[in-house]
């Protein structure tokens, strides 16, 4: 049996969003079916065929009289089982079952069941790698968490939210959710307690490893290995050995790392997993290389190399050749060793991923340094720096695209809400039309009473129409305004630029793109409510500095955009100086706490350097301002970089203006100055 929830649970409907009735545990759960579902979980990995038969038996017992929480739990296990089967037909059926289960949310239902349904939707989105949609779903899940009191569901939900945060690189948030999941485990006392705790510790250890927090990751992994050995749950023991060996080597505890790698190698051999065994051998040899025990490392790698070639495992084969080449260099066979390393690197350059290439370049650079070939060393280091910059740029671009996609999804949800409101308005108009027809009919039939009734009905229609006009005005306002700050939104900017495009001679203006510094830290440290308070306060400070003819826009997240109407560059410089001062002069007060705030920015004129806007439109100009903003961030924040002109013809500078402002600066193509706060 799972641990019981509180003596009663509220039932909700999503339409009313308020309690309808109170259900007892006996009404919300079926004790016998709950016990069978617990047994299914215990059999799922040890006896999958028996577990599948038991789950089908449970599903066959479900009907409209089954208590809601038990019904939702059984359907959840059925849907996940079909997803994990990896069969196309099963996945299609799983989606149909999920749609049917979602319909349950429109009927009276407990918060525990609602949370389980929405967490299931979140896990399905993660399984399908739909990360942006998963983030939107996570917001819905969090709405129900405060009222959820079933520890099993709390454990699962916080675990899923932690996995989502870890997948997105938000490691601190992941640890918060894993900690909440561990708190929920304290209330559980069933046969799966040890497995759940081990799984949670494994996820937590992975987070600490990503954060390079070796002192936290090591004891978690060591304890995990002891637990899975003790309880015979060693299906992923090999992965644990790999992770712990890596952590130990990063701590330079090579003796302990050698022991763990040897245990992992012996386990892989016993289980007839030759590829895994070769991985442990290569890791073991890498430790020997770190300890400069080249002869032992060479013997081990040559043995493993022959086996990797026989297994037709090219990746493992080439990494071993790279390591052997390095050993030859360090043993004095310089030319042959470098040739072998260069050949192995050429393979990875063609087939490997960029993050792996960077590590290989580091060892190649060490070999060139040992060989005294400083020209190739310099070339390799330069290539490594260029690769790091490329990886950084790609990751940044990917992150920006993900944030834009999430923003677009939220905007789409808002548009759907607005469309629903418009549909409601249309229905109200139809009702008004019907009411007017009734007035006409009454006027014909009851001529004597028409005067009195007509006045009353006319007043009613007039009030309704006034209400409709007011609602239309509100809808128009909402579509162009940011709901949090009241500033104009991205759509307002797009409409303004569309009107500008239609003008024969559009007036000169300028674009100032601003971004609050360390805003993620503010959200993480003070909470999202504090982040909202900072956005509102900063928007008010910026608005106070804008002229009536100028447009202040919340561009997205913590970004603001000002469309300036100031022809003199001196006036703009003075505005930037004042703006930096006003933002950072006073901290933002929230619940008695002082939150220091600074801002960074990028500026550019429109049109830029006399280039016609049909050739260099506002969106491309804004992209240059965004790169100038990025330089402000990189160079210390609390500053504004202003791009004011060109030193070369536009055709020469255009390629750099698309994606490489730093290159344009290095080649003195643009006029740029910085105003510091």
* Domain limits, the chain: 397-470, 490-676
Give the 3-state DSSP-derived string for 376-401, with helices as H, strands as E and coil as C. HHHHHHHHHHHHHHHHHHHHHHHHHH
571 forms beta bridges with none
Q: Is the pLDDT of residue 637 over 70?
A: yes
Query: What per-residue confidence (pLDDT) applies to 638?
Result: 96
74-94: average pLDDT: 84
Asked whether the beta carbons of 110 and 67 are under 8 A apart, the reply is no
pLDDT bin (cut points 50, 70, 90) of residue 17 is very low
630-647: average pLDDT: 95
78-85: average pLDDT: 86
Pick the closest to residue 406 from 481, 418, 398 (CA basis): 398
Query: What per-residue confidence (pLDDT) applies to 619?
Result: 93
Q: Which of 57-66, 129-138, 588-597 has the lowest mean pLDDT?
A: 129-138
Q: Which residue has the higher pLDDT, 363 or 451?
A: 363
Q: Which residue has the higher pLDDT, 610 or 433?
A: 610
DSSP state of 233: -
59-63, 476-480, 551-555: range with highest mean pLDDT: 551-555
What's the CA gap between 135 and 505, in Å, rounded?
A: 44
567-575: average pLDDT: 94
b/e 362-395 (16+ beta carbons within 10 angstroms → b): ebbbbbbebbebeebbeebbebbeeeeeeeeeee
Query: What per-residue confidence (pLDDT) applies to 541?
Result: 95
What's the CA gap between 153 and 3, in Å, rounded?
A: 11
pLDDT bin (cut points 50, 70, 90) of residue 387 is confident
Q: Is the pLDDT of residue 10 over 90?
A: no
Query: What per-residue confidence (pLDDT) applies to 447?
Result: 75
DSSP output for 5-57: --SEEEEE-TTT-SEEEEEEHHHH--HHHHHHHHHHHHHTTTSHHHHHHHHHH
Burial class (CB in 10 A: 0-12, 13-18, 19+), 551: middle
pLDDT bin (cut points 50, 70, 90) of residue 642 is very high
What is the enclosing helix (H) or strand (E) of 587?
none
Q: Is the pLDDT of residue 560 over 90?
A: yes
DSSP state of 4: P
520-544 per-position pLDDT tens digit: 999 999 999 999 999 999 999 999 9
What's the CA gap between 527 and 547, in Å, rounded?
A: 33
Burial class (CB in 10 A: 0-12, 13-18, 19+), 324: buried
Query: What per-residue confidence (pLDDT) applies to 355?
Result: 63
Quote the percentage of the chain above a pLDDT of 70: 86
Q: Which of 193-197, 289-293, 556-560, 619-623 has the lowest mean pLDDT?
A: 193-197
Mean of per-residue pLDDT scores for the chain: 83
Contact partners, residue 157, CB within 8 Å, separation at least 6: 115, 116, 119, 141, 145, 148
Burial class (CB in 10 A: 0-12, 13-18, 19+), 89: exposed
Query: What per-residue confidence (pLDDT) applies to 106?
Result: 62
Q: Is the pLDDT of residue 100 over 80?
A: yes
Residue 110 in 3-state DSSP? strand
Query: What per-residue confidence (pLDDT) applies to 640?
Result: 97
258-302 per-position pLDDT tens digit: 899 899 899 888 888 888 888 889 888 888 988 899 999 899 988
Query: What per-residue confidence (pLDDT) applies to 401?
Result: 57
Asked whether the beta carbons of 234 and 198 are under 8 A apart, the reply is no
430-454: average pLDDT: 76
pLDDT bin (cut points 50, 70, 90) of residue 2 is very low
Query: What per-residue confidence (pLDDT) applies to 399?
Result: 56
pLDDT bin (cut points 50, 70, 90) of residue 146 is confident
What's the CA gap between 600 and 633, in Å, rounded?
A: 6
pLDDT bin (cut points 50, 70, 90) of residue 99 is confident
Q: Which of 127-136, 283-292, 558-567 has the lowest mean pLDDT?
A: 127-136
Query: What per-residue confidence (pLDDT) applies to 615?
Result: 92
What's the CA gap between 429 and 522, in Å, rounded?
A: 46
Q: Is the pLDDT of residue 26 over 60?
A: no
298-320: average pLDDT: 85
Query: What per-residue confidence (pLDDT) applies to 442?
Result: 79
Query: What per-residue confidence (pLDDT) applies to 611?
Result: 93
What's the CA gap between 269 and 281, in Å, rounded?
A: 11
Quote the percentage of the chain above a pLDDT of 90: 28
pLDDT bin (cut points 50, 70, 90) of residue 518 is very high
Model-wide pTM > 0.85: no
Reported residue count of the chain is 677
Query: What per-residue confidence (pLDDT) applies to 107?
Result: 66
Query: What per-residue confidence (pLDDT) applies to 448?
Result: 66
Q: What CATH superfamily classification does 490-676 receive?
A: Reverse transcriptase/Diguanylate cyclase domain (3.30.70.270)
Cβ–Cβ contacts within 10 Å for residue 634, how many?
A: 10
DSSP output for 470-481: HHHHHHHHHHHB
Q: Is the pLDDT of residue 464 over 70?
A: no
Query: What per-residue confidence (pLDDT) applies to 650?
Result: 93
What's the CA gap between 257 and 253, in Å, rounded?
A: 6
Query: What per-residue confidence (pLDDT) applies to 400?
Result: 56
Q: Is the pLDDT of residue 15 over 50?
A: no
Four-point Cα dihedral 354, 356, 358, 359, nearest 10: 180
């Amino acid at each position: 049996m799972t641990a019981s929830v509180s003596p009663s649970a509220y039932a909700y409907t999503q339409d009313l969003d308020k309690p309808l009735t109170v259900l007892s545990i006996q009404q919300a759960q079926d004790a016998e079916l709950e016990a069978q579902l617990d047994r299914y979980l215990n059999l799922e990995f040890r006896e999958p065929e028996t577990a599948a038969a038991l789950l089908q038996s449970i599903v066959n017992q479900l009907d409209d009289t089954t208590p809601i929480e038990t019904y939702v739990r059984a359907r959840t296990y059925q849907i996940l089982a079909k997803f994990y089967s990896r069969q196309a037909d099963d996945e299609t059926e799983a989606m149909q079952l999920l749609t049917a289960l979602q319909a349950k949310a429109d009927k009276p239902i407990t918060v525990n069941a609602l949370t389980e349904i929405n967490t299931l939707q979140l896990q399905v989105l993660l399984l399908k790698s739909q990360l942006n949609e998963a983030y939107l779903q996570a917001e819905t899940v969090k709405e129900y968490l405060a009222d959820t009191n079933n520890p099993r569901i709390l454990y699962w939900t916080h675990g899923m939210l932690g996995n989502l945060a870890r997948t997105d690189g938000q490691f601190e948030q992941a640890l918060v959710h894993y900690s909440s999941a561990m708190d929920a485990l304290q209330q559980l006392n069933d046969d799966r307690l040890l497995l759940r705790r081990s799984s949670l510790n494994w996820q937590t250890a992975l987070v600490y490893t990503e954060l390079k927090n070796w002192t936290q990751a090591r004891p978690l992994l060591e304890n995990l290995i002891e637990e899975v050995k003790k309880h015979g749950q060693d299906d992923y023991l090999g992965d644990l050995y790999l992770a712990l060996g890596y952590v130990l080597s990063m701590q330079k505890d090579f003796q302990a790392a050698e022991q763990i790698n040897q245990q992992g190698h012996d386990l892989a051999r016993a289980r007839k997993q030759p590829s895994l065994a070769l991985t442990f051998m290569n890791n073991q040899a890498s430790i020997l290389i770190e300890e400069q025990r080249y002869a032992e490392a060479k013997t081990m790698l040559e043995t493993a190399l022959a086996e990797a070639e026989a297994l037709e495992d090219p990746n493992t084969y080439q990494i071993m050749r790279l390591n052997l080449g390095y050993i030859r260099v360090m043993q004095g066979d310089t030319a042959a060793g470098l040739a072998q390393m260069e050949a192995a690197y050429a393979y990875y350059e063609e087939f490997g991923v960029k993050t792996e290439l960077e590590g290989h370049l580091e060892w190649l650079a060490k070999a060139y340094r040992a060989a005294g070939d400083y020209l190739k060393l310099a070339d390799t280091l330069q290539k490594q720096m260029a690769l790091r910059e490329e990886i950084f740029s790609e990751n940044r671009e990917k992150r920006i695209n993900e944030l834009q996609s999430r923003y677009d999804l939220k905007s789409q949800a808002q548009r759907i809400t607005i469309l629903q409101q418009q549909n409601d308005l249309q229905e109200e108009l139809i009702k008004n039309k019907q009411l007017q027809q009734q007035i006409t009919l009454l006027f014909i039939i009851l001529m004597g009473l028409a005067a009195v009734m007509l006045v009353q009905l006319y007043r009613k229609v007039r009030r309704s129409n006034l209400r409709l006009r007011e609602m239309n005005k509100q809808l128009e306002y909402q579509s162009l305004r940011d709901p949090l700050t009241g500033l104009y939104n991205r759509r307002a900017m797009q409409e303004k630029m569309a009107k500008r495009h239609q003008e024969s001679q559009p007036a000169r203006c300028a674009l100032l793109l601003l971004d609050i510094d360390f805003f993620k830290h503010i959200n993480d440290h003070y909470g999202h409510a504090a982040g909202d308070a900072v956005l509102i306060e900063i928007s008010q400070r910026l608005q106070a500095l804008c002229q009536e003819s100028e447009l202040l826009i919340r561009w997205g997240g913590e970004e603001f955009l000002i469309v300036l109407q100031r022809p003199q560059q001196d006036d703009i410089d003075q505005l930037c100086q004042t703006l930096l001062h006003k933002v950072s002069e006073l901290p933002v007060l929230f619940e008695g706490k002082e939150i220091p705030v600074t801002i960074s920015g990028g500026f550019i004129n429109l049109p830029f350097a006399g280039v016609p806007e049909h050739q260099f439109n506002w969106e491309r100009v804004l992209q240059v301002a965004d790169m100038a903003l990025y330089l402000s961030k990189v160079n210390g924040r609390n500053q504004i970089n202003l791009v004011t002109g060109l030193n070369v013809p536009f055709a020469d500078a255009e390629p750099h203006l698309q994606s490489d402002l730093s290159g344009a600066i290095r080649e003195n193509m643009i006029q740029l100055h910085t105003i510091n706060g």
